[in-house]
Chain A
Amino acid sequence: MLQVFEARLFELVTGEIGSELVAGRIVMAISFREEVLEHSWYAIEWWCQRRIFIGNCYVVSLAMKIRRFPEVRSVELKWKPHFADFNLVPDGWGGYFYPWICEMARVYPLLEEIKLKRMVVTDECLELISKSFKNFKVLVLSSCEGFSTDGLAAIAANCRHCCMLFASWNLRELDLRESEVEDLSGHWLSHFPDSCTSLQSLNMSCLASEVNFSALQRLIARSPNLKTLRLNRAVPLEKLSTLLHRAPQLVELGTGAYSAEIRPNVYSNLAEAFSRCKELMGLSGFWDVVPSYLPAIYSVCSRLTSLNLSYATIQSPDVTKIVTQCPNLQSLSVLDYIEDAGLHALSLSCKDLRELRVFPSDPFVADANVSLTEQGLVAVSEGCLKLQSVLYFCRQMSNAALTTIAKNRPNLNCFRLCILEPRAPDYLTLEPLDNGFGAIVDHCKQLQRLSLSGLLTDLVFEYIGNRAKKLEMLSIAFAGDSDMGLHHVLSGCDSLRKLEIRDCPFGDKALLDNVSKLETMRSLWMSSCSVSLGACKRLSQKMPRLNVEVIDEQGDLDSRSDNSPVEKLYVYRTVAGPRLDMPSFIRNMDQNPTCRRYSLEKLFSE
């Protein structure tokens, strides 16, 4: 029965069964082939009752009741489109966790883990979580928003409540990575009761307010299993050594602000504290760095596998000095202050490097403020034989460099290049960068994720469609000449799951010629392209199992002609019909929402 499915995660298809919804382990069934579901659903249901991952929450209708599945331990939900990270998705779009948590609180009593990405989570949600699940252990809120530190206090305080009723409180992980939190005060941390000793991971780096330091210190001191601690900027450097003394077992540390007045005892305490951390493998934080304090970390450098200096506004020599002492580095995030020279040094020192991310220090300035060019990336591609994943912001690129990189590193699986100026050509030849990216998809046969930039014609999409057979996620901006570009991608990329496009001249024909492809993908985002309202309607008519959502904030969608272009389009497959929480500036193009419930009734009748 399970041979029907591949060994990797797929996406759940759930359906409305009368008034019941079955949530299995979501996964499986990129295809809507009925025979797949019919034969194997019961098998999945039996096998996969413990973990739930929903890659796009609107596959499942919020109006459905969740059938009681008492075994569910872990839920992972992702919501908004990726381009929400860059302010392209208007506020109020949707993605509210509250209705979900209400249902889950009711039917998943043994829930231990909740992991959310790009969702709107309110304090009420957090309070519900804190009261509803006696075994709750792990909360990860990645790029979420809508909650405040009051909600965090509820999570922390839950310990107190639980401890009175059960043997031990077991919050293991609280990870707020890159969420937007309304930071009312730092008092939330003080709500962890003295009996909470189970913490393994705490990431509060996205918070601004100062937490009560002695509460933090005590919490850390009584958490012998604490492996990951990411402090926020407000934790001063002078106090870091105090914390480290109480947590020498840390594996990952995110510092607070890395600056203090130059005082010898502060420095020596810090250096000594770091030297006692024999398990430390990952470092991050480093806001406001005072370079004189950097050598304090040298004792741990030889062990480091992960280093995130992407907030550290230190110049190339200082960055270089650190990275060249980290021979075991696998993952590095830096600002472009590292410059070509630093990247060259990296390529000689860090032979185990798998992932490199270089962020722009001054993205809105046209002229280069640093000496970072395509040469830095070429050097790393030559020297770091295990390099698989690249995110690189720069101001110039050439076809020659891209081709060299491709030939050097055919093992790349993620290549995201952002040339800061839209439509920038090969700076040497002034030609489009089609051939360079063509070489990337040609040589890197395992490429799963690709982000394009620079001057590109339809030709690059022809290359991608022909060659990028393992590509799952593609991001396109300011590229292409015509519909053919989009057509090449949709008709050629066999493994494509997520496609996000902005400001490209792609329009109706390519979409409507490839409608069935859209049903095999998780989602399609198109903004500021040339898609007409009429085409969206036709798409929706042709493909009843797709939600075709038009986002338009100008407020007159209902009176627009079919010829008018839409601002933003988001298309995703679903069996649940139009979602019920759309704001006024979003329309689902479905004319007949009632007659397309996928008939799974017979599969689930008991």
Chain B
Amino acid sequence: MDLINFEATELRLGLPGSTDDQPEIKSTTSHKTNKRSSSEMVSSVSDEHDSSRSPPPTKAQVVGWPPVRSYRKNILQGKKNDQAETGSGIYIKVSMDGAPYLRKVDLKVYQSYGELMKGLQDMFKCIIGLYSEMEGYKSEYAPTYEDKDGDWMLVGDVPWDMFLTSCRRLRIMKSSEVIES
């Protein structure tokens, strides 16, 4: 049986009838401009520009779909509830001492500790410094993170890639507290 109305069933962005098949990847800090509104789809197939593909696309991950609460997904996968992977992003929570609310950052957006610090500084409007053995703390705040063993560590000791896989959540502490502990 022919799939007569195939186009209606394929997963894609944009209005029916349009031919723009450009999927977009959601990120917390946007480096793109002039983008059409998207359904924040991350496609696992590389056929963005092929509008005549015959088999149905492989399952792509769409933000918020299916509408299952994150704590349900995590229960089944046995993960802790702090780290939500949305498509290609690694979203973790960031708390800052004294700030009334938490934020979330996508670690995948950054290539290095320096970029991450800059991103956090912009977010919290503060100066954060990495600790150095020689100079101690250069600023009022120090970044720490909880690793997958549940231990709280100073940011910056391990290679960036290793940090990406082990960081569960971030906490920006007052430098004075870090020294004391």
Interface residues in chain A, defined as those with a beta carbon under 8 Å from any beta carbon in chain B: 83, 85-88, 91-92, 96, 98, 120, 122, 124, 145-146, 178, 180, 182, 206, 208, 287, 310-311, 313, 359-366, 393, 418, 420-425, 430, 432, 451, 455, 475, 477, 481, 502-503, 505, 527-530, 553-556, 564-567
Complex interface bits, B55-70 against A, C-beta within 8 A gives 1, otherwise 0: 0001101111111111
- Are B81 and A554 touching (Cβ within 8 A)? no
With contact pairs A86-B65, A430-B5 given, residues A530 and B72 touching in the complex (Cβ less than 8 Å): no
Interchain CB contact under 8 A, A554 and B65: no
B159 at the interface (CB under 8 A from A): no
11 contacts across the A-B interface (CB closer than 8 A): A88-B64, A361-B76, A362-B76, A393-B68, A423-B8, A455-B8, A503-B39, A505-B15, A530-B15, A554-B35, A567-B37
Leading 5 A-B pairs by shortest Cβ distance: A86-B64, A366-B59, A565-B37, A554-B30, A528-B39
B67 near A85: Cβ-Cβ < 8 Å? yes
Binary contact track B24-40/A, C-beta < 8 Å → 1, others 0 = 00001010111111111
A567 to B37, alpha carbons, bound, how many Å?
Answer: 5
CB pair A310–B72 under 8 Å, yes or no, is yes
Complex Cα–Cα for A420 and B61 (A): 11
Asked whether any CB of chain A lies closer than 8 Å to the CB of B11, the reply is: yes
Please measure, in the bound complex, the distance between the C-alpha atom of A156 and the C-alpha atom of B31, giving whole angstroms. Answer: 46
Q: For residue B14, give the distance in angstroms from its CB to the closest CB of chain A.
A: 9
Beyond A361-B76, A363-B73, 8 additional contacts (C-beta under 8 Å) are A92-B101, A98-B100, A120-B100, A145-B102, A146-B100, A424-B9, A475-B67, A502-B39
Contacts of B100 in A (CB 8 A): 96, 98, 120, 122, 124, 146
Complex CA–CA separation, A430 to B4 (angstroms): 9
Q: Which A residues are CB-close (under 8 A) to B8?
A: 423, 425, 432, 455
Chain B hits for A530, CB < 8 A: 15, 37
A502 engages B64 (CB within 8 Å): yes
Does any Cβ of A come within 8 Å of B80's Cβ? yes
> Could you tell me how many residues of chain B have their Cβ less than 8 Å away from some Cβ of chain A?
50
Interface of chain A, main secondary structure? loop
The residues of B with any CB-CB pair to A shorter than 8 Å are 1, 3-5, 8-11, 13, 15-16, 28, 30, 32-40, 58-59, 61-73, 75-76, 80-81, 84, 86, 93, 95, 100-104
Given contacts A423-B9, A425-B9, contact A565 B64 (CB under 8 A): no
Which of A98, A359, A455, A527 sits near B68, CB closer than 8 Å? Answer: A359
CB neighbours of A422 from chain B (8 A): 11, 62, 65
Please indicate the chain A residues that have their CB under 8 angstroms from the CB of B75 in the complex. Answer: 287, 311
Closest chain A CB from B80 CB (angstroms): 7
> Measured between C-beta atoms, what is the minimum distance from B75 to chain A in Å?
5
Inter-subunit contact A477/B102 (CB<8 Å): no
Is the Cβ of A420 less than 8 Å from the Cβ of B66?
yes
Looking at the complex, which one of B33, B38, B59, B95 makes contact with A182 (CB distance below 8 Å)?
B95
Q: Which residues of B contact A206 (CB under 8 A)?
A: 71
Least Cβ distance of B51 to chain A in Å?
16
Whether the Cβ atoms of A566 and B59 lie closer than 8 Å is no
CB of B5 within 8 A of CB of A425, answer yes
Q: Which residues of B contact A359 (CB under 8 A)?
A: 68, 72
Closest to A477 in B: B65
Taking a contact as CB atoms under 8 Å apart, the answer to whether B66 and A360 are in contact is: yes
B4 A85 Cβ-Cβ under 8 A: no
Determine the chain B residues whose CB is within 8 A of the CB of A365 once the complex forms. 59
- Contacting residues, chain B, for A527 (C-beta < 8 A): 37
